[in-house]
Structures are given as structure tokens and as C-alpha cells.
Amino acid sequence: MKKRTWMCVMVACVMLLATACGASGDSPEGSGANEKLVVGFAQIGQESGWRDAETASIQFYAGQNLDTIDLKFADAQQKQENQIKAIKSFIEMDVDVIGLAPVVETGWDAVFTEAKDAGIPIVLVDRMAAVDESLYATFIGSDFIEEGKNAAIEMSALLGGSGKIVQLEGTVGASAANDRKKGFEDEIAANHPGIEIVASQTGDFTRAKGKEVMESFLKTYGNEIKGIYGHNDDMALGAIEAIKEAGLKPGSDVVVVSVDGVKGIFEAMAAGEANVTIECNPLLGPQFFQACQTLKDGGTVEKWIKSEEGIFRADTAAADLPNRKY
């Protein structure tokens, strides 16, 4: 009898769990033969406020156009194998276009070829993949090298052209990390000889790691560090906490320059704890679906559709803050 009661409880719980999972609703349903634009999108996962905004933009746009767009969304939880699995299932579902934000640059050839053989164009969103140009239809996103270069110019201006700085790199192997590093370091080496990058370490694009790495930098170099360059805002936000704990003032003792433009960094800038953010626009939904529609209709799109971006500084942060969507 007792055993039976337990079994009942278990079954009830499992059922509850199942409905909860159903409610979160990214389970792809059969596409069926319809005239809608069927798009499979393999997102990296949630790693930062920025990516959340991109996800929201794509889902919002699809939600606004329910009668013309059928979006199948897969969350890969930061794992390449999950993204590959998602792409394979999209191919099986025979979607019109596959969208992908590759978690790392390499290792995509096989699955892209599979999609190409099935006649499904691939649209890369915000991150590049190191594959032959013929394997994907178009890339929508920012010029990371340009972002790194802009960050270097801003950093140099803030420090008056000289000072020691540290760099918080993104996930090892991600194109955003590789290019933001390259653009920044090349610009520093070419035009700002007074700026010295004394240390550079990965913070995996997360706040917790950004904080831990910055704590370590501060122990090694102490007051020598005049500036920090973060490959994303969230790492910079973590670093700001570490700087405060070291008894220094972020924003003045140590200037903070990062890339993305998430709401949190605007709040920090308004509070005087950060200096500049180079925007990397995540609201790519409209551009993405436009490209998908063109591809479905058999049209051609440019190989690189660049997103619109700007540079935001602390002096206007308070005014900009209400306009920030993510």
C-alpha cells in the first residue's frame, strides 16, 4: 500500500514536470505543407543579456508574424553538439531556411554540407563560422574587428594615450573573442604606442569568471592597471565588482571599456562606474527574417549584411538608459 502511494506521487510529479516542459514550448512540431516561411533557428543558449535580447528580437518578430512565419527555435545550452543536433533535425523537418549563431568557429563543415545537399540555405547570425563561403547563404552581424578597433580608440582617448591595461577575453575559440582581440590589439600596436596590454585572460563571457579573473589581475598588477577592456559588458560588470572590492574606483581609477551595450552597463555608466560601451546590436530579428524570405523566394542576398551600431559614452548614459531594450 505504502509503495503504491509513493508510485502515485512519483507519477503525478513526472506528469507535472512534463506539462511544465511543454509550457516552455520550444518543442518543434511537424512543419506540414504550408505556404509559411519555415525557419529553424539554433541559438547558442543564454550566456548574457545581449544574447537574450537577440533571442527575444527573433522570437518577437516571428510572434508578430504568426500567419507568415513558422519559427522552430532550439536552445543549445552553449554546446556545439546540441547545435549540430538541432540543425540535423531541422534538415529532417525540411525547413526553408536554417538560422544559426555558431557557439564556436570551427567544426561546421560536415553538417553545413548536409544542409546544402538538402537544398536548405544557412543564415549565420552574429557569429561567423570558419567554413567555405559556398556552404552558407549569408552572414548577418557586426564587424567584430571594427568593434575591437573602436574600443582601442576609445580606451586610448580615455587614458590620454598612455597607461597599462588588461583584457578580459571571451570564450576561447569564439569569433567574437578572436576578432575583438585582434581588432583591439592591432589598433593599439599600430596607433597607440603608449598603451600597454599587460595581461589578457579569458572570462568566458560570464560575470562570475570576469570577476574572478579581474580579482587575480588586481593582485598581480595592483594600482598599475589604468584600464580594462572587456570583450562583453557582462564580464566588465563582474570586473567592476572586483575593482570595487580592491578599494579602487571603477570608471575613474580604472577606466572600463567593453562591447555590446546591454542595459546593465548603461546603469553602471550612469552611476559613473563604467566609461564606454561599443554597441553590438542584437535586435537582428527583422533583418534576419527579411533575408530568410528573400532566400526562400529564390532571390540573392549579400554575403555579409552588417548591423547598425553606435558608440555610447558615460556622459550620455543616463539619457540613453530609458531607450535601451536589452
List the grid coordinates of 216: 587575480
Q: Does 78 bind another protein (CB under 8 A)?
A: yes
In 3D, which of 273, 254, 251, 270 has the Cα closest to residue 324? Answer: 270
234 makes contact with another protein (CB under 8 A): yes
Nearer to another protein, 179 or 234 (CB): 234
Sole window of 40-48, 99-107, 140-148, 277-285 interacting with another protein (rule: CB under 8 A)? 40-48
231 is an interface residue for another protein by CB under 8 A: no
Q: What are the C-alpha distances in Å from 291 to residues 63, 283, 303? A: 17, 14, 11
CB atoms within 10 A of CB 244: 13
3-class SS of residue 231: coil
Could you tell me how many residues of this chain bind another protein (CB under 8 A)? 44
Strands across the sheet containing 276-279:
195-202, 163-169, 225-230, 255-260, 276-279, 311-313
C-beta closer to another protein: residue 68 or 252: 252
Q: Strand, coil or helix: what is 296?
A: helix
Residue 256 binding another protein, by CB under 8 A: no
Position among 63, 64, 193, 219 found at the interface with another protein (CB under 8 A): 219
Residue selected from 143, 241, 253, 309 as contacting another protein according to rule CB under 8 A: 241
Of 38 and 317, which CB lies nearer to another protein in the complex structure? 317
Q: Would you say 137 or 168 has its CB closer to another protein?
A: 168
C-beta neighbour count of 73 within 10 angstroms: 19
Interacting span for another protein (CB under 8 A) from 61-69, 207-215, 279-287, 298-306: 207-215
Contacting range for another protein; rule: CB under 8 A; set: 47-55, 93-101, 109-117, 182-190: 47-55
Are the C-beta atoms of 148 and 182 separated by less than 8 Å?
yes
Selected range binding another protein among 100-108, 113-121, 127-135, 196-204, rule: CB under 8 A: 196-204
Q: Locate all alpha helices (DSSP H) within the chain, ordered by sequence.
A: 2-24, 49-64, 80-93, 109-117, 144-158, 175-191, 207-221, 233-245, 263-270, 285-296, 314-320
Instruction: In whole angstroms, give the CA distance from residue 60 to residue 257.
Output: 30
Distance between CA 87 and CA 39 in Å, rounded? Answer: 11
Instruction: Check binding of 80 to another protein (CB under 8 A).
Output: no
Residue 200 as a binder of another protein (CB under 8 A): the answer is yes
User: In a 3-state reduction of DSSP, which class is residue 311?
Assistant: strand
Does residue 99 touch another protein according to CB under 8 A?
no
- x-marked contacts with another protein along 142-181 as a string, rule CB under 8 A: ---------------------------x--x---------
Q: Where along the sequence are the contacts to another protein (CB under 8 A)?
A: 6-7, 9-10, 13, 17, 20-21, 24, 45-49, 52, 55, 77-78, 169, 172, 199-202, 204, 206-208, 211-213, 215-216, 219-220, 234, 237-238, 241, 245-247, 264, 267
